């Protein structure tokens, strides 16, 4: 069973909610279980320092699928150099943009009516490559599904299922300092050159907008449709990347901790990789209303690969929980999240 219907009406609008597959046993008497919830996180254990594992090699990246064929052929040497050095996980968006710009430059000499390529497309392509990489990896867990969309939010427009950027010029976005994202819950302001995590009662998403002093704006939307859960195996390959901007906007990640049986205690084990020493936010949220935070903590994650163990207990049983993870500085990947039910 799922926590929400596949189509819901909120505030008179139709919403396609973010859903979690839960076991009916663990969903019973959830209010009581959430009230008595007790979470305890252990000490972080460093497994490998960053010089031993400079890149999270466990992630999936298929250059042939993600990068435009023409650009891949032209820039093979540069890309191969990047692949061998940094395995494509960590190239800053700027670096990808640079390669695309070099291979497919803006057509400045052409007449206005004949022009096809302009500068915003380089930025958007770099984001498209990165987003597909994040999406593909998120979808590796069972039942998990994330959808993404990227492009010029002014013309031709960016929308992802029931979320769309309003049709606003780059000038407007720069002037007002934000872009409007239209959601079934109403308009949400996404700060310019920054990202915004959208957490509503039944919806989890992330939007990012970048405007220069031009008409165009590059925006992207990530929507978690079906969360990765621990119901049928572990959650794996969750990627957080810095998309560049004022406040180092990094996308968050969401997944669900769900037990098969009604148990009072579970042990969890998180294996993660971080490019820098940084603080990472861990929140557990109520699966019946994602806005309710039931547990919150910051953990100090060292650069490289590390492990964290935790314990979660509640009466009459551990409820399903939505985990929200957000690093503060730079690239971060959650290799796996596994639970053991203590009977």
Partner 1 sequence: MSYNFPECEWVNGKKLITTRIEMPMWCTSEILNYIIRHPVLEIKLRKIRAIDKDFDSVVESMCAVDWTEDVIQHIDSRKILENVRKTIPLREEVHEWMRVSYAHNVAISVMKQNYANVVSTRKKGIMESEFVTLGGIIDGKSDDPYIPGVQVQDISYVSETGKTVADNGFAKLNTPYGIDHVPILDKKTIIKPKMLAWSAIPWVGNKQWIGAIVKWVKLVKNPFELAKGGIPNVLLTNFSGTEGLSSPVFLAHVPPRFGLRNDVELDIASNKDQRIEIYYRDPRDFTKALCKLTIPLQGNSINKIRYSIRSLFGVSPMLMHIETPDNGLIAVKKFNVRSYLFPFLIPI
The residue ranges that bind partner 1 (CB under 8 A) are 5-9, 14, 16, 19, 65, 67-71, 100, 104, 112-113, 115-122, 124-125, 127-128, 132, 139, 143, 145, 147-152, 154-157, 159-162, 164-167, 182, 214-216, 225-226
- Measured from the CB atom, is 85 or 107 closer to partner 1? 107
Distances (CA, A) of 138 to 117, 135, 271: 31, 5, 15
Distances (CA, A) of 45 to 41, 271, 272, 321: 12, 10, 10, 24
What interhelical angle do 119-138 and 93-103 show, nearest 10? 130
Tell me how far, at minimum, the Cβ of 32 lies from partner 1, in Å: 27
Tell me how far, at minimum, the Cβ of 12 lies from partner 1, in Å: 10
CA atoms within 13 A on the CB side of 58: 18
Tell me how far, at minimum, the Cβ of 154 lies from partner 1, in Å: 8
Q: Which of 183, 231, 228 is nearest to 207 (CA)?
A: 183
Tell me how far, at minimum, the Cβ of 160 lies from partner 1, in Å: 8
Tell me how far, at minimum, the Cβ of 336 lies from partner 1, in Å: 18
- Measured from the CB atom, is 219 or 310 closer to partner 1? 219
- Measured from the CB atom, is 82 or 150 closer to partner 1? 150
Distances (CA, A) of 20 to 27, 168, 313, 326, 337: 11, 34, 20, 20, 16
* Three-state DSSP class for residue 158: coil
Locate 257 and state its tokens: 């901790």
**DSSP type of residue 16:** -
Locate 71 and state its tokens: 């650009």
Q: Which of 284, 259, 275 is nearest to 331 (CA)?
A: 275
Tell me how far, at minimum, the Cβ of 133 lies from partner 1, in Å: 12
**DSSP type of residue 112:** T
- Measured from the CB atom, is 71 or 256 closer to partner 1? 71
Tell me how far, at minimum, the Cβ of 126 lies from partner 1, in Å: 9
- Measured from the CB atom, is 143 or 196 closer to partner 1? 143
Helix and strand numbers (H, E) in the chain are: 8, 20
- Measured from the CB atom, is 132 or 260 closer to partner 1? 132
- In the block, tokens 């929308």 appear at 159
Are the C-beta atoms of 336 and 58 separated by less than 8 Å? no
- Measured from the CB atom, is 136 or 283 closer to partner 1? 136
Tell me how far, at minimum, the Cβ of 40 lies from partner 1, in Å: 33
- Measured from the CB atom, is 4 or 264 closer to partner 1? 4
- Measured from the CB atom, is 44 or 145 closer to partner 1? 145
Please report the beta strands in the chain, taking only residues with DSSP state E, as ranges in sequence order.
Answer: 8-10, 13-15, 38-49, 145-152, 159-160, 163-165, 178-183, 186-191, 194-200, 203-211, 217-226, 228-229, 235-240, 253-257, 265-274, 278-286, 289-301, 304-313, 321-327, 332-342
Tell me how far, at minimum, the Cβ of 166 lies from partner 1, in Å: 5
């Amino acid at each position: 069973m799922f926590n929400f219907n596949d189509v819901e009406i909120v505030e008179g609008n139709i919403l396609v909610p973010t859903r979690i597959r839960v076991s009916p046993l663990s969903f019973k008497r959830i209010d009581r279980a959430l009230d008595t919830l007790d979470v305890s996180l252990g000490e972080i254990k460093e497994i490998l320092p960053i010089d031993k594992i400079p890149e999270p090699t466990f992630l999936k990246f298929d250059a042939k699928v993600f990068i435009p064929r023409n650009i891949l052929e032209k820039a093979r040497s540069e890309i191969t150099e990047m692949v061998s050095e940094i395995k494509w996980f960590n190239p800053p968006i700027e670096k990808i943009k640079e390669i695309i710009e070099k291979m497919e430059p803006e057509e400045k000499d052409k007449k206005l009516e004949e022009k096809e390529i302009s500068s915003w497309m380089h930025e958007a392509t770099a984001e498209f490559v990165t987003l597909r990489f994040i999406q593909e990896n998120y979808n590796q867990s069972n039942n998990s599904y994330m959808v993404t969309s990227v492009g010029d939010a002014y013309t031709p427009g960016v929308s992802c299922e029931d979320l769309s950027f309003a049709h606003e010029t780059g000038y407007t976005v720069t002037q007002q300092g934000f872009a409007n994202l239209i959601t079934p819950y109403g308009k949400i302001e996404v700060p310019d050159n920054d990202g915004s995590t959208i957490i509503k009662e039944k919806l989890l998403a992330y939007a990012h907008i970048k405007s220069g002093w031009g008409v165009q704006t590059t925006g992207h939307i990530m929507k978690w449709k079906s969360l990765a859960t621990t119901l049928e195996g572990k959650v794996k390959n969750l990627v957080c990347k810095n998309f560049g901007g004022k406040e180092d906007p990094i996308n968050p990640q969401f997944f669900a901790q769900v037990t098969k049986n009604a148990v009072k205690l579970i042990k969890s084990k998180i294996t993660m990789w971080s490019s820098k020493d940084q603080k990472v936010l861990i929140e557990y949220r109520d699966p019946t209303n994602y806005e309710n935070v039931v547990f919150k903590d910051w953990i100090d994650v060292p650069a490289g690969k590390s492990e964290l163990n935790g314990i979660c207990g509640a009466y009459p049983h551990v409820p399903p929980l939505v985990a929200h993870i957000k690093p503060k500085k730079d690239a971060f990947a959650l290799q796996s999240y596994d639970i053991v039910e203590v009977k």
